[in-house]
Amino acid sequence: MWRTRPFIRVLLTTLSAACLLLVLNPSPPLPFLDLVNTIGDYVPNLPGTPTPGLTSVRVAVFEQNAFHDEVIGAVLTVLTDLKTNVTLYRGGLNNGYGEVISDIWDVKEQKPTPIDKLATHIDEGRFDVLVLVSCDSKFMHHHQALRKSFAARQDLHVICLLHEVENFVKENEEQRGMMAVPAEQGRLTFVELSEHGASKVQAVVEGWSTDADQWEVDVVDFAPIFPLTGIPMRTDLSIPSRAAILGRMNPHSRAYDRIISELYESLLSKSICYSIHICSLARTPEIWGYRLETVPPGLSAEGTQSSPSGIARPKFTPLDDPANPPFTLHLIGNDEGRLSIPEELLESEGGADPIVAIHSQGKYVEFYSDIAAMLKLQDLVLPAFMEDMYTEYRASAAIPAAIVSRYSRGTLHCTNPLRGRRGRNALR
């Protein structure tokens, strides 16, 4: 039984830690084994227990999608730290992600193996552990040969990382059928990035397990640990003036449209006086640090000629008031060009940030550099969730980012993917 093998416990513990830490940092601020050793409940190396020889453990890492590169990075980092014998099955690492993890995985020397070869290699008995980076049935639907291979290989332990827990339900017969054989044989583990997600998975697994069809499955979750000890929390009492939203710039993934629309309407509003002494400033441009002006028809906000529309346009000029700095909203992520943002909010004056600033990079290195540099300066990080999915089922980088951004140096320390590696000085 796999539970008698200490190396699997080490692998599961560090792997689950890696995947959660990855939401802010694909190259963690602490070595994974050091991190795990700070949590006594997860140290399998009790007195008298021999250290498992991990160099002989053969692990296949499988990712069939063109995304989830960061999760692959976490998995490879853990397995490399544990000195296991790893083979990656993937079409390649996208958008320069190989550069991010080049210190632990040289893509030129360790080229990924084509994914269509994995089923045959499992049949040949080449591996002890299979890590399915995207184990959801919707991602595995077209890989029937692989599903048959890991079901038939009784000496292969399967580690399943679920991404869309909201779809992991009792009625999902495809997921159940795919996992049934390794589950009944006690060689399946689900890894979840949150306790609430793990609870959902556990409930479904228990529903699938009956006296006649008994599943022996572990569901592992792990809380993120960030090295903020000794870093002072920001205590300034100034008015928050810089906010950030992290994530894919898609109106269906975050509440971009609603937030930007309400901000724009508020900037256009005037103060409402209920009496001579009482006025509401909650919805005025001044409370946001701006003065509202009007640009005549046919002119741009800078006063130059543009295509005549016959309609006057608003212009927001920053107030010269150090006590009330102009508010700016920074969108950090992959810009898919699908957001509706009023032109006036994207215009800048005198080199200053526009009211809504977009920070989008195609390469991972530049993207993480932007996150590290931008969040260091933010007052607030807004989760901006469209619905309760991330609080009920999934895990999101936005919540830990919001926490560490309240520390004076915490965010840069925790989010810098190249910290201690090549390019470190450029990211400080």
The residue among 312 and 58 whose pLDDT is bigger is 58
Predicted model pTM: 0.74
Has residue 1 got a pLDDT over 50?
no
Q: What is the pLDDT of residues 236-250, one digit of tens each?
A: 666 788 898 988 898
How high is the pLDDT of residue 230? 61
How high is the pLDDT of residue 131? 95
Which residue type occupies 277? H
How high is the pLDDT of residue 69? 86
Confidence grade of residue 102 (pLDDT, cut at 50, 70, 90): confident
Contacts for 256-265 with beta carbons within 8 Å, 24 or more apart?
256/331, 256/339, 256/384, 257/339, 257/340, 259/329, 259/382, 259/384, 260/329, 260/339, 260/340, 260/341, 260/342, 260/345, 260/356, 263/288, 263/329, 263/345, 263/355, 263/356, 264/342, 264/344, 264/345
Between 69-81 and 6-21, two packed helices, what is the crossing angle to 10 degrees?
Answer: 140
Q: What is the pLDDT of residues 36-63, one digit of tens each?
A: 333 223 333 334 444 455 788 999 999 9
How high is the pLDDT of residue 316? 92
Reading across the β-sheet that carries 356-359, which strands appear in turn? 356-359, 328-332, 242-246, 380-381
Rounded alpha-carbon distances, angstroms, from residue 194 to 175, 201, 367? 20, 11, 25
Tell me whether residue 351 is exposed, middle or buried, using C-beta atoms within 10 angstroms of its C-beta: 0 to 12, 13 to 18, 19 or more: exposed
Please list, in sequence order, all residues whose beta carbon lies within 8 angstroms of the beta carbon of residue 137, skipping any fewer than 6 positions away.
167, 172, 174, 175, 178
Confidence grade of residue 108 (pLDDT, cut at 50, 70, 90): confident
The domains of the chain, with CATH numbers, are: 2-221 (3.40.50), 242-283+320-427 (no CATH)
How high is the pLDDT of residue 232? 63
How high is the pLDDT of residue 118? 98
Q: What is the pLDDT of residues 68-97, one digit of tens each?
A: 888 888 888 888 888 899 999 998 888 888
How high is the pLDDT of residue 89? 97
How high is the pLDDT of residue 283? 60
Confidence grade of residue 8 (pLDDT, cut at 50, 70, 90): low
288: which 2 tokens? 């946001």
Adjacent-strand bridge partners of 407: 233
Q: What is the pLDDT of residues 334-382, one digit of tens each?
A: 888 899 999 999 998 777 889 999 988 778 877 777 776 776 777 788 8
CA distance 190 to 119: 21
Q: What is the pLDDT of residues 166-181, one digit of tens each?
A: 999 999 999 999 999 9
The residue among 43 and 131 whose pLDDT is bigger is 131
Confidence grade of residue 414 (pLDDT, cut at 50, 70, 90): very low
* Greatest mean pLDDT among 1-15, 151-165, 235-249: 151-165
How high is the pLDDT of residue 12? 56
How high is the pLDDT of residue 179? 95
CA distance 133 to 162: 8
Share of the chain above pLDDT 70, in %: 69
Of 164-178, 200-214, 301-315, 410-424, the range with the lowest mean pLDDT is 410-424
Has residue 416 got a pLDDT over 80?
no
Has residue 264 got a pLDDT over 50?
yes
